[in-house]
Amino acid sequence: MKKSPVFFLLVFAVFLLSFTPFHFSTQDSLYILKMDASSKEERTAITSLGVAIEEVKPNYIVGIAHEDSLQKLTAHSFKFEAKPLKQFLLDFPVKDADFHNYSEMEAELKSFAEKYPHIAELSSIGESIQQRKLYIMRLSGPTPSSTPKPAIIFMGLHHAREHLSAEVPYFLIKHLLENYGKDEKITQLMDEREIWVLPMVNPDGAEYDIESGVYKFWRKNVRSEGADRMYGVDLNRNYGYRWGQEGASDNPRAETYRGPHAFSEPETQAVKRFVESHPNITILLSYHTYSELILYPWGHTYHDIEDPQDFGVHKTLATEVGRITGYKPQQASDLYITSGDTTDWSYGTHGIYSFTIELYPGSMWEGGFYPSAAKIQKVVHDNIPAALYLIDTADHPRKVLPNLN
């Protein structure tokens, strides 16, 4: 998606400085809201009512919600301030050259497979609702192995408006391919591991977010009841582990709509089939934006992972990734409860050590979902060493525990 580096930082500043009390209108549109919420229990209640919480501060949250979710907040006596999202789109960029839309990503991945056939294999794990292929790249050296190599999977763009979350896995692919045979450590890792990278879990939503030339702040996939009845499903609330509990909405118009049942969407079904058919995967990482966080299970409960060694591995890996990136490591539910999310499912069902990285920026003030394209390379630079660390650990993740070395 070709865009200029202009973004809405100043517009959002005006938004925070000029809040007025919210009055309901009959227009079906998105709103950005700010509301007091100092505890994870309050934040869980808020997100269960359909608000997508995007920024957590000590005493308040910034979120995005549809009008009917705001009505539910009022009915539950929550106090908030909100403005229509369309007020932030007055100067939005038409194009931004350094991000990849779907066709550009497809072309780049095919080019990599053609240029590096001995170490890169491109395939599709399925198709989206609109029949776009869900491309995945296998990266591994040609060294023979009598048993399956330890594997790791990186995924991006579950949420449509989080375009930066597709750039990091894309540039990870590029970095590994261009440095194989040149960098001793990367060559070793690729020879000894099977690295899977799925840059766009939600290509339909990503295209829908940019198709008009003005960002829609779209989060979900493109599930609809016809051209004029788009509602979408939040793919990161559609996985099967503890699906349908707190932290997701049963309202199709809500930002956190979980779908009619677990794995109702072709995108999550495809991820499910792929993971189930690759039992050698030991680590899963899902990139999102924004907030600069390293999150690990559980998301569906405030309790820690029950197995003390698994908890220790998650915490140790998250801490080290946080040290490398400068992001804050924490258990996902310390923010608020979520149910049906990717990493609870991959760990809870398959025992895979699983992480969500919320990438740059740290706040709406720095660009939120749409930071300057000039920041892409810095974010990639900050995150590739962490990816290499996890690839290195994938042979035996429990080795990071001191008593198991």
Question: Residue 80: how many CB atoms within 10 A of its CB?
Answer: 22
> Do residues 170 and 105 touch, judged by C-beta distance below 8 A?
yes
Per DSSP, what are the bridge partners of residue 293? 328, 358
Q: Does the active-site annotation cover 265?
A: no
Q: Are 355 and 324 in contact (CB under 8 A)?
A: no
User: What is the rounded CA–CA span in Å between residue 98 and residue 8?
Assistant: 17
Choosing from 54, 167, 292, 358, the catalytic residue is 358
Rounded distance between C-alpha atoms, residue 130 and residue 107, angstroms: 18
Backbone angles phi, psi at 3, to 5 degrees: -135, 155
How far apart (Å, rounded) are the C-alpha atoms in residues 342 and 272? 10
Catalytic sites, residue numbers: 358
